[in-house]
Structure 1
């Protein structure tokens, strides 16, 4: 409460400097006795504002302490998040006219030129030594979540059904073989989820690791993301609500990425389209770039990614 006490001290100093008497404060609980000739009447509205401010400050401090690292009780609707998003400085996209494609890149060079400029950039050889490109498929994830996924920590991980109507990861990983294989007459599917369960993280990370090109001093976010699905679906146009840039590796299949600058940069920056194929890793700041993805025809698309600092 040190912050609240300091603010109270400053208010008292400013109030007394303005000629308001501190002995008037108790009279606010007896507002029916106020009169215009009462010495305490002058400045009463200011005192009310002070009291309201202190109550809100104390409540905010209490709630911050209570809910730190907890899930939101009520989450702001996505459209409102965008409405209240602060405007971006368009320098991050003003000179971007295409998506560079790199390989055998030095981490120091990547840090200096690409890592924190907002992107986008594609590194083509980051998954060369990963076994995820061989082992990851729908049935692999189904088996992992049947083994570990009923734990409470796994159930708390975030899930994106997109346009499928799935309610959670368990429902998404309980499809018929015909639908998984996109047999004629079956509905398309595409979904994503955060891998926040430490046991599942340990299993999956046996098959992939931190991309070699990231800055040497950077660290991966402990939560990874997985996106999986077939032709006909993908993520809608959106901007993420994250703090850091991120990477996403295409382990199987291919996806088209459509990138758009934020509305305040429409007349300064370009719209971009790029295809991310098996083995490619795309890096960009998804909190700045609006983005949409389309799974291309062929193999089921599987990607994994994370934020980095």
Structure 2
């Protein structure tokens, strides 16, 4: 095992193994991030062994009572969530070398070939009849949240500030016009949020709907996500902690997605980079694929998405 660990460490440090196509990575370095993930993944097994002994000592009854409840009384930090995730079978990414682009796909065909395989796919025509591509912009969301977000009974949902330092959706939607328009000398911005408030969700869903290609048995999710921002920022390299695979539709602008396999699949799977253009919908299991996004130059990027079962 030590010999294997040494080989894998050298592989991550030198990036000289032909089994993984690092040539298809964009021109930025993931070296330190991948090394941290690998060392955390390998080193955590010792902690798991200690933790398992402690849990066993607490007794079967206590374990069942505390740890099998659906809701946790303490939320595990994100880095620990990623470190303690169970190893993946590499079947979901093995032999995938590019992201297929499809159009006019039948839901039954999509279910058979793509919906639950975990691999990425882009559907190019899912937003054709959506008015969101016309209406959604910074000022639209600002008006929606000023009107309905602060009402009595409004539900506070998850907010993703990324590198901006914004504390909440209201601060993010209070920028001056010059910064919103990315005028010279202003700071770039990119943020996202999950929309769990039923009133606001209803207002937004007047302009988009359930993608036509999803399996017929798939139910509409009660929570949608929105991500918005301009050139120079995006989401850092991460893996999600959600229940199901998901879709994201690019309503405006363009965004590059960089996909990486989990550490245990570095020998078996490939890194990929794909550009999602306005009107495209990318579908993948973000619980399995590490992913990073970069907003490309041009129009402000706006995407909307959700999980599906």
TM-score (norm 2): 0.79
Q: Please, which moves more after superposition, 280-289 or 213-222?
A: 213-222
CA shift for structure 1 position 154 = 4.4
Instruction: Return the alpha-carbon distance in structure 1 between the equivalents of residues 64 and 256 of structure 2.
Output: 49
**1:202 to 2:208 alignment:** no
Which residue of structure 1 lines up, in the alignment, with residue 109 of structure 2?
Answer: 109
Q: Secondary structure at the match of 2:59?
A: helix
Instruction: Return the alpha-carbon distance in structure 1 between the equivalents of residues 220 and 141 of structure 2.
Output: 22
Q: How does 1:34-45 map to 2 (within 5 A)?
A: none
Q: Secondary structure at the match of 2:108?
A: helix
Instruction: Return the alpha-carbon distance in structure 1 between the equivalents of residues 244 and 274 of structure 2.
Output: 22
Which residue of structure 2 lines up, in the alignment, with residue 218 of structure 1?
Answer: 218
CA offset digits 1:71-97 (Å, max 9, x no partner): x65421111111101000000000211
Instruction: Return the alpha-carbon distance in structure 1 between the equivalents of residues 266 and 56 of structure 2.
Output: 43
Which residue of structure 1 lines up, in the alignment, with residue 62 of structure 2?
Answer: 56
CA shift for structure 1 position 60 = 2.0
**1:177 to 2:177 alignment:** yes
**1:82 to 2:82 alignment:** yes
Which residue of structure 2 lines up, in the alignment, with residue 135 of structure 1?
Answer: 135
CA shift for structure 1 position 58 = 7.2
Which residue of structure 1 lines up, in the alignment, with residue 256 of structure 2?
Answer: 256
CA offset digits 1:249-280 (Å, max 9, x no partner): 00000000000000000010000000000000
Instruction: Return the alpha-carbon distance in structure 2 between the equivalents of residues 95 and 211 of structure 1.
Output: 27
Instruction: Return the alpha-carbon distance in structure 2 between the equivalents of residues 195 and 75 of structure 1.
Output: 20
Q: Gaps (5+ residues) in structure 2?
A: 1-54
CA RMSD of aligned residues (A): 1.9
Instruction: Return the alpha-carbon distance in structure 2 between the equivalents of residues 218 and 207 of structure 1.
Output: 20
The 8 Å contact of residues 155 and 196 in structure 2, kept in 1 or not, is answered as: no
CA shift for structure 1 position 220 = 2.5
Q: Gaps (5+ residues) in structure 1?
A: 1-48
CA offset digits 1:147-172 (Å, max 9, x no partner): 11014664520000000000000000
Q: How many residues align?
A: 255
Which has the higher Rg, Structure 1 or Structure 2? Answer: 1
Q: Secondary structure at the match of 2:242?
A: coil
Q: How does 1:1-309 map to 2 (within 5 A)?
A: 52-53=58-59, 56-57=62-63, 59-60=65-66, 64=69, 73-151=73-151, 154-309=154-309
The 8 Å contact of residues 87 and 264 in structure 1, kept in 2 or not, is answered as: yes
TM-score (norm 1): 0.79
Q: Secondary structure at the match of 2:267?
A: coil
Q: Secondary structure at the match of 1:234?
A: coil
